[in-house]
Chains A and B, each alone.
Chain A
Amino acid sequence: MQKRAIFGGKTLPYLLLLPQLFVVAVFFYWPASQAVWQSFLLEDAFGLNSSFIWFENYTELFADAGYYRTMVTTAVFAIMVAGLSLSIALLFAVQADKSIRGAGVYKTLLIWPYAVAPAVAGVLWIFMFQPSLGVVAQGIRTLGIPWNPLLNGNDALILVVLASTWKQISYNFLFFLAGLQSIPRAVIEAAAIDGASRTRRFWTIILPLLSPTVFFLVVVNIVYVFFDTFGIIDAMTQGGPSKATETLVYKVFFDGRLGGNLGSSAAQSVILMIMVVALTAVQFRFIERRVAY
């Protein structure tokens, strides 16, 4: 990763690195280490007294049924959003990849939701599905299906999933389209000449060649659900009703701020850190393989 022709200079490189290293040290490493330290402490509500309690925050957390429920909610949430947004995006990308008129226009019209803030996406969707004034909610009710995301936990989770999926389709679509366009046409045409039908070509040639993209997107979508849906949840449900839409990140925020339990919140942060490290490691291992591929 280095050039042959390089510059000398004893202090200049450090000066160039200084701004970034300063921000990183003060706002990343110091707080992260504080989070680890705090996770071993028991603090009173005012932060005046604290005592070192080893792993008690962790054992308490893992003895708490609520924490497992939040884990399950996060997992279900991630699976639903990844499954839905990946399959819808793939469907659109396959169609947009065909040499049709106006493919560029369709692309533009499908990618802009990427730019919508998660919290704003939440507002758009709560407005459609709010039981008393939502246009879509009224439609659902006239079909005779009971619908109330403000009271029913499953309804709330469905709503949050829909809003998160809506926002994520554009991202997945772009990467699928790029992946599809990198598949050599000759391979597909050869299969067509051999008499493979459209469906068969998709399942036996296109999808396997697309699998690196699929794998990459699965990881990215999980990270998205873990971290970026915070705004959607906070704007729509605040984790409710009765914690039905509470994800791990939302719980860190809620327990630390409103619950006033900083020790537990810090312990949860540390657990999340470990999960991010694992996810990033998976992502990079895969990228190395893709380069070799």
Chain B
Amino acid sequence: MVEHRGFSRFLPHIVLVIGVAIVAFPVYLCFVGSTHPQDIVANGQMPLTPGPLFFETYYKTLFVGSSGSTREPVATMLMNSFIMACIIALGKIAISILSAFAVVYFKFPFRMAAFWLIFITLMLPVEVRIYPTYKIASDLNLLDSYAGLTIPLIASATATLFFRQFFLTIPDELVEASKLDGAGPLRFFWDTVLPLSRTNIAALFVILFIYGWNQYLWPILITTRDDMQTIVIGIKKMIVTADALTEWNVVLATAMLAMLPPVMVVVLMQRWFVKGLVETEK
């Protein structure tokens, strides 16, 4: 910036290092706790450095499950979360890109009505229609299924707006050119629009994958069977049982495993993540 003298050169580093430390501290403690024996964690004697049980705890968490309960091993929950997050992300992208394409490239009666119908769902988050939505899902026999976990969440006003915004920036000459080549709308969509949308799709996928992975309210309503649980609700169920019986080392290992995939997505695909986050909010 403007001046670079003395102490002011170091101030940003000091503030940011402290910031990073504060932000990372809860996760560090969580990791430490997941590597110590259960009784040491439970009686509050936990040291601040990692313990010896890394492999044992994570093996048990992933493939055996917490003892003394009928809970599923966490590997199953990870699988459920992964499937749910992917279906939600890809489903939202697929139906939104088709809707945006229809709204931007066609002229037909009720075009704006359709657009507004999608747009207004922005104001109807699942939290304001919890029980009626649950009732419909159960009437349609969707409880304890991947379809029930995902389809009711799959409409997306933000994704539709995002694609619409992007399509409006595609030059009209491209449509004219492909019309001259004799291509119909679907060919144009497949050969031109879809390849042009690649980076937008990637950015949206990152955001929506995290959205899907972190779903909480809907999965606790819609799943009753343990083998359909996602990891985010599985971990919560591990700590509600009588406090003294909570196997904290397993709970903490589960927390680490629940954080790992979405955090890796953010860190490894940071460029797309930032693009997706900043541009979908506009």
When each residue 261-273 of chain A gets 1 if its CB lies under 8 Å from chain B and 0 otherwise, what string results? Answer: 0100110011011
Q: Which residues of A in the span 1-51 have a Cβ within 8 Å of any Cβ on B?
A: 1-7, 9-10, 12-14, 16-17, 19-21, 23-32, 34-35, 38
Confirm or deny: A127 has a beta carbon within 8 angstroms of a beta carbon on chain B. yes
Query: Cβ of B179: which chain A residues have Cβ within 8 Å of it?
Result: 5
Say whether A149 faces chain B, with CB atoms less than 8 Å apart.
no
Which residues of chain B have C-beta atoms less than 8 A from A122's C-beta? 236
Give the residue name and chain of the A residue nearest to B41 (CB). Answer: A133
Interface residues of A in 113-162 (CB under 8 A from B): 113-128, 132-135, 138
Identify whether the interface residues of B are mostly helix, strand, loop, or mixed: helix
Check: B79 CB closer than 8 A to any chain A CB: no
Residues from chain B with a CB closer than 8 A to the CB of A109 are: 20, 23-24
Asked whether, in the complex, the Cβ of B16 is within 8 Å of the Cβ of A135, the reply is no
Contact among B16, B29, B129 for A31, CB-based, below 8 A: B129
A21-B118 in contact (CB<8A): yes
Does B181 lie at the interface of the complex (its beta carbon under 8 Å from any beta carbon of A)? no
> Is B168 in contact with chain A by the CB < 8 A criterion?
yes
The residue in chain B whose Cβ has the minimal distance to the Cβ of A253 is: B130
User: CB distance B33 to A127 under 8 Å?
Assistant: yes
The answer, among A92, A115, A175, A189, for a CB contact under 8 Å with B263, is A115
Contact A118 B15 (CB under 8 A): no
Q: Given A31-B136, A135-B48, are A24 and B117 neighbors across the interface (CB < 8 Å)?
A: yes
The residue from B106, B124, B259, B273 contacting A7, defined by CB atoms under 8 A apart: B106
A154-187 vs B, CB cutoff 8 Å, 1 = contact: the mask equals: 0000000000001001110011001000000000
CB distance from A189 to the nearest CB of B (A): 6
Cβ of A12 and Cβ of B239 under 8 Å apart?
no
Are A277 and B99 also in contact (CB < 8 A) when A21-B117, A231-B232 are? no
A227 and B125 form a contact (CB under 8 A) = yes
B122 within 8 A of A: yes
Interface magnitude class on chain B: 35 or more
Q: Which of A25, A95, A123 has the most CB of B within 10 A?
A: A123
Interface residue A214 (Cβ < 8 Å from any Cβ of B)? no
Chain B nearest CB: distance from A35 CB in Å?
5
Most buried by B among A108, A127, A253: A127
- Contact, CB under 8 Å: A230 / B42: no
**One of A52-60, A64-72, A75-83, A96-104 contacting the partner:** A96-104
A117 in complex: contacting residue of B12, B151, B213, B273, CB < 8 Å: B213
Residue from B30, B121, B137, B251 within 8 A of A24 (CB atoms): B121
- CB neighbours of A188 from chain B (8 A): 1-2
Q: Mark B115-140, 1 if CB is under 8 A from A, else 0.
A: 00110011111011111110111000
**How long is the Cα–Cα vector from A287 to B282 in the complex, in angstroms?**
8
Q: Contacting chain A: which of B59-67, B70-78, B264-272?
A: B264-272
The answer to whether B185 touches A272, judged by C-beta atoms less than 8 angstroms apart, is: no
CB pair A124 B30 closer than 8 Å = yes
Q: Contact: A7 with B105, CB < 8 Å?
A: yes
7 A-B residue pairings within 8 Å (CB atoms): A20-B155, A24-B155, A111-B273, A113-B23, A115-B266, A133-B46, A174-B277
Q: Give 5 new A-B contacts, CB below 8 A, not counting A7-B188, A216-B281.
A: A92-B15, A110-B20, A117-B214, A119-B214, A124-B26
Q: Which of B's residues lie within 8 Å of A, judged by CB?
A: 1-3, 8, 11-13, 15-16, 19-20, 23-24, 26-27, 29-30, 33, 41-44, 46, 48, 94-96, 98-99, 101-108, 111, 114, 117-118, 121-125, 127-133, 135-137, 151-152, 154-156, 160, 164, 168, 172, 175-176, 179, 184-186, 188, 210, 213-214, 216-217, 220, 232-233, 235-236, 239, 248, 251-252, 255, 258-259, 262-263, 265-267, 270, 273-274, 277-278, 281-282
